[in-house]
Amino acid sequence: MRIARFSIDGNVAFGAVEGESPPGSTDGLVLDIIKGIPFADFELSGTKVPLSKVRLLPPVLPNKVVAFGRNYAEHAKEMGGEVPDAPFAFFKPSTSVIGSGDDIAYPSFTEELHHEAELAVVIGRMCREVPRERVKDVILGYTCANDVTARDVQRREKQWARAKGFDSSCPLGPWVETDLDPSDLTIQCTVNGRQRQLGRTSEMIHSIEDLIVNITEAMTLLPGDVILTGTPAGVGPLSDGDEVAVTIEGIGTLTNKVVKRG
Answer whether residue 250 is part of any domain: yes
User: Widest CA span of the chain, in angstroms?
Assistant: 53
Each residue's pLDDT tens digit, 191-243: 999 999 999 999 999 999 999 999 999 999 999 999 999 999 999 999 999 99
Each residue's pLDDT tens digit, 154-171: 999 988 999 999 999 999
Q: For residue 22, what are the domain limits? A: 2-55
Answer whether residue 144 is part of any domain: yes
CB 227 within 8 A of CB 129: no
Domain co-membership, 156 together with 43: no
CA–CA gap between residue 13 and residue 44 (Å, rounded):
12
Domain co-membership, 231 together with 175: yes
Answer whether residue 107 is part of any domain: yes
Domain co-membership, 40 together with 76: no
Write the CATH number for 112.
3.90.850.10
Residue 27's pLDDT is what? 79
Domain co-membership, 115 together with 240: yes
CA–CA gap between residue 49 and residue 138 (Å, rounded):
30
CB 100 within 8 A of CB 56: yes
Q: How is residue 135 annotated by DSSP?
A: G
Each residue's pLDDT tens digit, 12-37: 999 999 998 776 677 789 999 999 99
Answer whether residue 60 is part of any domain: no
Domain co-membership, 29 together with 137: no
Answer whether residue 49 is part of any domain: yes
Answer whether residue 84 is part of any domain: yes
Domain co-membership, 35 together with 108: no
- pLDDT at residue 185 is higher than 70: yes
Each residue's pLDDT tens digit, 62-105: 999 999 999 998 887 787 777 788 999 999 999 999 999 999 99
Domain co-membership, 113 together with 167: yes
Domain co-membership, 94 together with 44: no
Domain co-membership, 16 together with 74: no
For range 112-119, the mean pLDDT = 98
CA angle 25, 254, 51 (to 5 degrees): 45
Residue 142's pLDDT is what? 98
- pLDDT at residue 135 is higher than 70: yes
Residue 24's pLDDT is what? 65
Domain co-membership, 24 together with 76: no
Answer whether residue 38 is part of any domain: yes
Strands 186-191, 243-248: pairing is antiparallel
Say how many domains are in the chain: 2
Write the CATH number for 6.
2.30.30.370
Answer whether residue 50 is part of any domain: yes
Using CA atoms, how far residue 166 sits from 63, 103, 125, 205, 261, in Å, is 16, 13, 27, 27, 11
Each residue's pLDDT tens digit, 144-154: 999 999 999 99
Domain co-membership, 185 together with 107: yes
**Domain stop point among 16, 33, 55:** 55
Domain co-membership, 125 together with 201: yes
Left (φ > 0), alpha (ψ -120 to 50) or beta: where does 150 sit? beta
